[in-house]
Structure 1
Amino acid sequence: MARRDYGSVRKLPSGRWQARYRNRGGRMVSAPETFTTKGDATAWLAQAQTDQARGQFIDPRAGRITLGTFADRFLTERVLAERTAETYRGLLDNHIRPTLGDIEMGQLAPGTVRAWHAQLARRHPSTAAKAYRLLRTICNTAVLDEVIARSPCRVEGAGTERAEERPIATLEEIAVIVEAMPARFKALVLLATWCQLRKGELCALRRRDIDPMRSTLTVAQNLQQLRDGRLVIKEPKSAAGRRTVVIPSQVLPVLVEHLATFTAADSDALVFTGEHGGPVRPHVLQKHWARARVAAGRPDLHMHDLRHTGNTWAAATGASTRELMARMGHSTPDAALRYQHATEDRDRVIAEALAGLTKPAPVVAIERAMGASPADADSNPPLH
């Protein structure tokens, strides 16, 4: 048996060779596999010693924990908001564990992750992106915990969600929707549109958050319903989420009337409540919303599209990226830039339409010569 300060190599009765190394605690540990030749065993031992000296050595036994077991430990050790914990657990149990959960962390290969993601993405692209981001975070944690040497999550762009362009409503459609909603929810629709608030932010507004004298409202909390039906009120996820928004002048009188009619006098009272004074239940609001959007002839609209509509209108006013970010409550410019891009596209259409109204006289004469009707010509009079 050959001995070293770091470890040893010996021949087993089977004829194969075993390498043993000294771990950080000073205990001798066998390599996870045996070798055909003494040279192979010695080479493995030398590489292990080099990696350990560089701080790159991972105990092969650490990677024998399954992904499912490590992921459960990952979720248990994290301090997560209840809604986030629910989301992560759903992604893990429904989309990650069935395919990858029984694979040992040390055996989880990039090709396996790539195949899993491709299959899920074909059926549920958005869910695949969310599940991949969670798996990537779990594997990065495994690297930090020295369970594996390198993350197998190496699919470029797999964690990016490519959301479809959402529809926007017209002014006339918003008016119909407001009219079709119950009186206690009319102001809610207007704030969702003109102040670009999320549903959870609207349902968590309190009387103290409204300042009629300054025509402002402050977003300080967010109401969420968990899968078990419990309602929880949380602080915004980021500092940007807590913000003060100026209320457009045409909306303020409606909101003031709502406060006088439906909101209790206590400063802590919720601005929007159910019929019995409690927090608004999402399914109740959705029931009324479903009827109102049909009345407007827009069954394709989701309530969140009110915020999308308002943001698009805000971008069309010429608001800067920073101004849109502040009003929307975003800490990064990505969403604001999307709205500005949409506005630029629309502006190009408008410009082309305007150009059609100013055709020079020679163009009109040519069109007449080619058979254009007098009505067509008159609809595009030359400018003098």
Structure 2
Amino acid sequence: MRVAEVENDLKGGTYVDPSAGKVTLALYARQWLSTATAGPTTVERYEGVVRNHIEPHLGRRELRTLNKPSTIQAWVKQLQAVGLEASTISGIHDVLVGILDAAVEDGLVTRNPCRSSTVKLPKQTKRKIVPWTLERVHAVIAGLPERFRRGGKLAFGCGLRQGEVFGFAVEDIDFAGLEIHVNRQIRIVRNKMVFALPKGNRIRSVPMSPGVAKELKAQMKEFPPIAVVLPWGTPDGELRTYRLLFTDVKSKAYNRSVFNQGDWKRALVAAGVIPPRTSNSQYFAAAPDDGMHALRHAYASVLLDAGETIKALAEYLGHSDPGFTLRTYTHLMPGSAIRTRRAIDRAMFGPPQGTSEAEGSAMCPQCALAA
């Protein structure tokens, strides 16, 4: 029977020498990582997945023994048992899929058991984003250090990501055209801060209100921009200099880990989002849903409420796929009944008495900042 199977595989061009798969998964995974073509932060994430979740469970096994979907399913169950969320397990599984796909292409194994229909991942329950109220937005921004308070206003007023605010420079502002240009971010690669293109390598332009422009001018006057030198892309990349609007008390670029555990958490405490740190605790309370990204979500929610299109919002947020923007924020869009009532009232009766058209409409983020 075995001879017949080998002959069939030889004829079909799918035969793999059993000795070829004697390499361990741990060793092959390391080889795969060394040739990965993804960006440095993505490869760093892959390395963490291999080190923390693949090697401890499957690393010693030879590739040729990883041929049963039941082995993969048992591994998934182990990941569930330690309390990992479904979305995390899915990301870990994707890395193993990539490794074993490469092993198939290299002729080390005949098939990838991860791709079997019998391997079931835990179902992901996507939680809907609940945007902050304007009151909370104002309260948290007010709780930030004075030198970064306008950084919070920029994040909310123009929908920037945290790293994009940290990397925002004088040359990114077009005061005459009332636009900002999102040209870079600051991110951490191998524990070192670097300049890099925005997420997805998507440089973009975002409308800037006169109010936001006024805030940026005030920031530049009160805290003159600092020339910061960092490598580009990777720790050993070309050194580049940009005059950043927002730097820490040592005139250095903000480190996201230090900022998030310090200034940001203190702002959350000041706004009553999380409780104060107790005297016997070294850390503030966890706030996974209340990171600086919440300002970006608030930006999206008020733009949609004001009637902005998904296509325009996707451009302003730097999303490559408007469908992603729609899936993420569709529940925040005013219902058709609400839009109908607003439209008819405006057409028949005009803006509410005592207000202008603009005042009778929902507020944009920039207007909300000045409210």
TM-score of the superposition, structure 2-length normalised? 0.75
Matches of 2:161 and 2:171, distance apart in 1 = 18
User: Post-superposition shift, 1:184?
Assistant: 1.3
Residues 318-358 of structure 1: CA deviation (Å, up to 9, x unaligned): 222221221111112343113442124x648969x99xxxx
Evaluate the alpha carbon distance shift between residue 237 and residue 59 of structure 1 in structure 2; reply closer, same or farther with a 3 A threshold. Answer: farther
Answering whether residue 189 of structure 2 is matched by residue 232 of structure 1, we say no
Partner of 1:276: 250
Contact in 2 for aligned 1:62/1:146 (Cα 8 Å):
yes
Residues 256-280 of structure 1: CA deviation (Å, up to 9, x unaligned): 2112222338693012111222111
Partner of 2:178: 215
What stretches of structure 2 of length at least 5 have no aligned partner?
228-240, 275-286, 343-371
Give the alignment partner of residue 168 of structure 2, picking from 179, 201, 205: 205
3-state secondary structure, aligned to 1:268: strand
User: Post-superposition shift, 1:45?
Assistant: 4.2
Give the alignment partner of residue 63 of structure 1, picking from 2, 5, 21: 21
Q: Which amino acid aligns with 1:278?
A: K
Matches of 1:265 and 1:41, distance apart in 2 = 71
Evaluate the alpha carbon distance shift between residue 334 and residue 121 of structure 1 in structure 2; reply closer, same or farther with a 3 A threshold. Answer: farther
User: Post-superposition shift, 1:167?
Assistant: 3.5
Residues 68-90 of structure 1: CA deviation (Å, up to 9, x unaligned): 11101000122443322221111
Partner of 1:295: 270
Give the alignment partner of residue 169 of structure 1, picking from 132, 155, 163: 132
Contact in 2 for aligned 1:263/1:272 (Cα 8 Å):
no
Q: Which amino acid aligns with 1:47?
A: N
What stretches of structure 1 of length at least 5 have no aligned partner?
1-39, 355-384
Matches of 2:140 and 2:32, distance apart in 1 = 45
Q: Which amino acid aligns with 1:85?
A: V
Evaluate the alpha carbon distance shift between residue 309 and residue 101 of structure 1 in structure 2; reply closer, same or farther with a 3 A threshold. Answer: same
Contact in 2 for aligned 1:121/1:127 (Cα 8 Å):
no
Contact in 2 for aligned 1:113/1:153 (Cα 8 Å):
yes
Answering whether residue 302 of structure 2 is matched by residue 313 of structure 1, we say yes
Q: Percent identity?
A: 29
Partner of 1:242: 203
Q: Which amino acid aligns with 1:222?
A: Q
Partner of 1:124: 84
Partner of 2:352: none
TM-score of the superposition, structure 1-length normalised? 0.73
3-state secondary structure, aligned to 1:288: helix
Q: Which amino acid aligns with 1:190?
A: K
Contact in 1 for aligned 2:129/2:328 (Cα 8 Å):
no
RMSD: 2.8
- Summarize the alignment of residues 10-21 of structure 1 with structure 2, pairs less than 5 Å apart: none
Q: More relative contact order in 1 or in 2 (CA 8 Å, sep 6+)?
A: 2
3-state secondary structure, aligned to 2:210: coil
Q: Which amino acid aligns with 1:327?
A: Y
Matches of 1:45 and 1:227, distance apart in 2 = 46
Matches of 1:289 and 1:237, distance apart in 2 = 22
Structure number, greater radius of gyration: 1
User: Post-superposition shift, 1:245?
Assistant: 0.8
